[in-house]
Amino acid sequence: MNYQFKIEKPNQQYIQITAETVALTDNPVIQLPSWRPGRYELGNFAKNVKGFKVFNGNGKPVEFLKISKDAWQLTLAKGETIKIQYAYYAHLLNAGSTFFDATQLYVNPVNCCVYQVGEEQAPCTAELAIPEHWQIAGSMQQEGRKLQAANFDELADSPFICSDNLQHDTYEVGATTFHVWFNGITKPDWERVLRDFKAFSAKQIEKFSEFPVDEYHFLIHILPTKAYHGVEHCKSTVICLGPSYDVFGSLYKELLGVSSHELYHTWNVKSIRPIEMFPYDFTKENYSRLGYLCEGVTTYMGDLFLLKSKVFSVEQYLVELAARFQIHFDNHGRFNYSVAASSYDTWLDGYEPGAPNRKVSIYTEGSLLAFVADITLLKNTNNKYGLDEVMRRLFFNYALQGKGVSEQDYKNELEAVGNCSFDDYFQKFVWGNEPYEAILTDALEYIGLELVQKPAAAYSQARLGVKCIVDGDKTVAKNFYPGAPADMGGMMVDDQILAVNGVVINGNFDQWLNYFDEDEKRITVIRAGKLVELVLPEVSRNFYLEHQLKCVENPNNFQKKGFAVWSE
């Protein structure tokens, strides 16, 4: 398929797309992907397609019938030229979207490029009618304003940014060139970026023995608004981070965290792929229970490589790891639904808070279980092998052999490397929902770390068991600790808290709770437009806790050795 992208009227944000090919069969089917790899839920990109028209080689209109929400069957004979025209609404700017305004054309082809069913393996080209002075950032081969991909999969996996705001530099690790592109309002601290990126890239490559692709691009949108996420691709990643003024200040550790995470995906998920997604089926849900491998191991390793490469100090790393512990202990969904089941359900509610205490996060639970697996392997191999070795084997024995990975394959490799059983690990903690505080603290102890728990600093969390969001002077209840006073007293999700003991709180809920510490708590809330008064029972215990990780003082030599191997 040959695509043309034309941009006019940036205020309207419609990209004019033409796609041309030859019919492979009579009445061929044209499909637009309904989801994008990296986000395992339906994206329904066809909702942005306007004015879908088809012409034959003589420029005559071709009739078509829509046969699903994102597929069109054309009334056309085999061998005839197909020329498809449509406008794509590019209004949303995030790491997986397509966006167009006066400053840039940013395309994730998986959102907006249709393909002919059966033609997925044929080469694709994309011609860009963009202003002369705009640069193009991305991993596809370029010839002037023409981009080339070996097949539809490569096209779909190769986002690009065209803009005159791009800033670019490179670094090398071995034979691989890494390109770092910043787009938007930003003043990159190049020296620090290139030094730190090179350090974690080199360490990841060292552990895997080789890098799967010949070059790599970090495509980083710096936004004036708050943003922090990324999407992985085989030869690139798109990252959104903001606001601009904090990126090389307080957000710099987030830039490192997300960049190391996305680079690790080059092996884990872009190469080592769940068998259910091998190959990707763009037309429907690709259910997999392996989110704890794809996202869990990547979340754990992405951060750990910042420690291993000495980009993060031990103290900095432990803050990141403790944040995972915090989310784990705060979410009572861990008693209800396993990480494997939650992975299957990303297609249902994986990227939203969802029903309270229903499910867990594949990122959080997956990363903590990866930590436990890593330490279990070190323990059982006299500190010779950790999870790195399992991932290296999955890369060489599966990815490079052109095979997908099943849950059993992952379990087999863990058991082969550790020379021990992972039956309990899977039955109880991956597939089941048994509490695993004990195996977490055991793993910490092995490397000389300890978990320190103390009551949450906020009175509302510690003593009432309610977590609120404060937005301006609005305080809104969002999460409850089951059985705590807020729950017992009948507080509901989205109650807006107005007053404590008749005093209007004006955004200072905890200050007033502290003030009335000894008294009964009468809380006035606005609930669906009505005033409601709640009386909360007094209970002398703490509910939500704060979790910190610390090095045990004077760890014995055995622990020190485990720590050294784990962190190097």
Question: Between 31 and 266, whose beta carbon lies closer to Zn ion?
Answer: 266
Cβ neighbours of residue 75 closer than 8 Å, sequence gap 6 or more: 27, 62, 63, 64, 65
Cβ neighbours of residue 359 closer than 8 Å, sequence gap 6 or more: 333, 336, 337, 341, 342, 345, 349
Minimal distance in Å, beta carbon 239 to Zn ion? 11
Question: Between 323 and 416, whose beta carbon lies closer to Zn ion?
Answer: 323
Question: Between 34 and 298, whose beta carbon lies closer to Zn ion?
Answer: 298
Minimal distance in Å, beta carbon 255 to Zn ion? 15
Q: Which pair of tokens denotes residue 280?
A: 């990707």
CB 260 within 8 A of CB 303: yes
> Nearest-5° angle of CA 280, CA 285, CA 286?
45
Question: Between 113 and 368, whose beta carbon lies closer to Zn ion?
Answer: 368
Minimal distance in Å, beta carbon 209 to Zn ion? 22
Question: Closest Cα to residue 87, out of 156, 5, 155?
Answer: 5
CB 286 within 8 A of CB 269: no
CB 240 within 8 A of CB 228: yes
For Zn ion, which stretch binds (CB under 5 A), given 1-9, 76-84, 291-299, 559-567? 291-299
CB 61 within 8 A of CB 69: no
Minimal distance in Å, beta carbon 347 to Zn ion? 16
For Zn ion, which stretch binds (CB under 5 A), given 288-296, 334-342, 521-529, 550-558? 288-296
Minimal distance in Å, beta carbon 107 to Zn ion? 21
Minimal distance in Å, beta carbon 21 to Zn ion? 33
Question: Between 163 and 299, whose beta carbon lies closer to Zn ion?
Answer: 299
Question: Between 303 and 388, whose beta carbon lies closer to Zn ion?
Answer: 303
Residues 298-357 that bind Zn ion (CB under 5 A): 298
For Zn ion, which stretch binds (CB under 5 A), given 236-244, 295-303, 429-437, 462-470? 295-303
Residues pairing with 535 in the sheet? 522
| Phi, psi values for residue 105, rounded to 5° | -120, 115
For Zn ion, which stretch binds (CB under 5 A), given 63-71, 124-132, 184-192, 290-298? 290-298
Minimal distance in Å, beta carbon 265 to Zn ion? 6
Bond from prior residue into 212 cis (ω within 30 degrees of 0): no
> Nearest-5° angle of CA 542, CA 504, CA 460?
10
| Phi, psi values for residue 213, rounded to 5° | -130, 165
How many residues make contact with Zn ion (CB under 5 A)? 2
Total residue count of the chain as it appears in this document: 568
Task: Tell the residue number behind the tokens 């449509």, with chain if given.
Answer: 86
Sign of the torsion angle spanned by Cα atoms 463, 469, 475, 478: negative
For Zn ion, which stretch binds (CB under 5 A), given 297-305, 310-318, 336-344, 372-380? 297-305
Question: Between 31 and 298, whose beta carbon lies closer to Zn ion?
Answer: 298
Question: Between 254 and 295, whose beta carbon lies closer to Zn ion?
Answer: 295
Minimal distance in Å, beta carbon 344 to Zn ion? 17
For Zn ion, which stretch binds (CB under 5 A), given 287-295, 350-358, 395-403, 462-470? 287-295
Give contact residues for Zn ion (rule: CB under 5 A).
295, 298
